[in-house]
Amino acid sequence: EYGGESQTAMALWSVLIVAAALGCVVGALPLAEVIYTAVFLDSASQGSLHRWWSTHLPTIPGNLSRVYGEHMTIEFRPPRAHVARLDLGRRVSLEGFLWASDNRSCEGIQVHSWEVRSLNNFSHVTLSTGPGTSPVCTNQLLAEAHRHDHRVESGQIEPALQLGGCVDTFPRSGLCEEEVQA
């Protein structure tokens, strides 16, 4: 007993307080509203990605209709516990090592990070999509590139494209120094 309450009750009370704090908000954002978690590229990295694409792949559009190139998804519709475990606001590095395009509906690069893991089969940054195509298309695009599907052009990025970004939620939590529009 401690002050009239058992140690078990005190421990349970402490767990409930922490769980309530983590379960209610991340920054100013209620966890229930998190659509996805991601590494949001800083503006210099976004510029580097678009410049690399237009310089090294001048015959492949890079702007099919809707241009992205701003994040690598960590997890879509993450459970509260997954968001609570992320180090939101942390700066991390990504390396772009493979590009792919079907020249009509989807373009992107496959990336790797030693610091954070995407739950996608192929961690990536979607560069652009055609009309009516969702940016999730890059998952399928990269699967086809790895199977050497003749409908997809792809190649190595050598040397690897060095990118940087910040781990955050969408909608954005405000914990990253440089907010990136998504």
Structure-block tokens of residue 153? 């052009």
Across the range 116-130, mean pLDDT stands at: 96
Show the CA angle centred on residue 181, arms to residues 99 and 67, nearest 5°.
40
Q: How far apart are CA 39 and CA 53, in angstroms?
A: 20
Give the model's pLDDT for residue 17.
Answer: 33
Taking only the tens place, the pLDDT of each residue in 28-75 is: 445 558 999 999 999 999 999 999 999 998 888 777 889 999 999 999
Can you give the pTM of this predicted structure?
Answer: 0.80
Query: Is residue 173 within 8 Å of residue 40, measured between CB atoms?
Result: no
